[in-house]
Amino acid sequence: MKLLKYLPLVFILSLFLSCNSKKSDVPVVGFVDAFEDATIAQARDGFTDALKKSGFSEDQHTVKIEYRNAQGDIPTLTQIVNQFVSEKVDLMGTCTTLSTVSALQKTKTIPIFAMVSPTPERMNVISSTGEAPGNLFGAVEELYYIDTSFNIIPKLLKPKGGKLVIGMIYNQSEPQSADAMNRIKSLANKANVTLIALPLNSSADAQLVTKSLLSKNIDAFFANPDNTVFASFETILKSCNQANVPIFTSEAGLVKRGAVAAFGADIYQWGYQAGEQAAQFLKTHKTDGLKWEMVKVRKRVYNPEAAKKYNITVPLNFEAVK
């Protein structure tokens, strides 16, 4: 009789456990940023806005986005990716090269929607048969757009001496950064410009290396596509402004932060483009018709305050940043 007394309670408890053991129908997106940066953060905004426009909103409980930031620490980045893989998230959004490469190394099945990352060749993720990973999607970038960004400097700036001298720093352990440096070196030779490039390994070295570069009497600083440059841009900007050296770049987001001008991808739109692909996958649960693609939105932008400070007249086809 006592057992019968507790049967309703047992039934309710078992029903509760049964309901909670079922997998939620709400898709889970694992989003990983390699490091903290105001410019790079715009990609995540674009990505989530694209999902929301397609009906996948955390506010409406139609998607769950698990966001993690490795804060520039590689072991932490690996741990984050491993966690997403073990949780079997529906897809991963990866921001910057390190995040994308780390994800590709850990899973061949979970779809990866990359942004602020270079082509598979630049990431060195091509197989021995010459194919990109089958689970790589999103938007990537090639290096040729750097040509326009770099070649505008001799047109806008007069050298202090007989020949224009441009300085840059690069992370030798970052393939994208090293590739960019080699391309810029070739551009400098063709434009009869002296290029001084100094290596660094982390953003902690940025101030010291930048001041060393400025001591070589450069006419301009070129901020190349480099995670270390993004993370330490304010430090670089302060040193360059103190030395009265303008900064040019290939990254539109850095113009908002104080560089003079750029021709490059709009970081928000870059994330949005990857988010549109991710939304299509969430709608269909299939990758049919999806593939990694080149970033579509590039802008010619300038910073009015920086241009005024250095008395630089920017061409009419450049748009002022707000």
CB 184 within 8 A of CB 213: no
Dihedral of alpha carbons 228, 232, 235, 240, sign: positive
Give helix 97-106 / helix 74-87 axis angle, nearest 10°: 50
pLDDT along the chain (322 residues), means of 10: 48 47 76 90 97 97 97 94 98 96 97 95 92 97 86 91 93 80 91 93 88 96 87 94 96 91 91 98 95 94 96 94 86
Total-model pTM: 0.82
pLDDT value of residue 120: 95
pLDDT recorded at residue 8:
52
pLDDT at 225: 79
pLDDT at 24: 64
Report pLDDT for 18: 44
pLDDT of residue 322: 81
Residue pair 302/155 in contact (Cβ under 8 Å)? The answer is no
User: What is residue 265's predicted lDDT score, i.e. its pLDDT?
Assistant: 86
For residues 42 and 47, what is the distance between their CA atoms, to the nearest angstrom?
Answer: 9
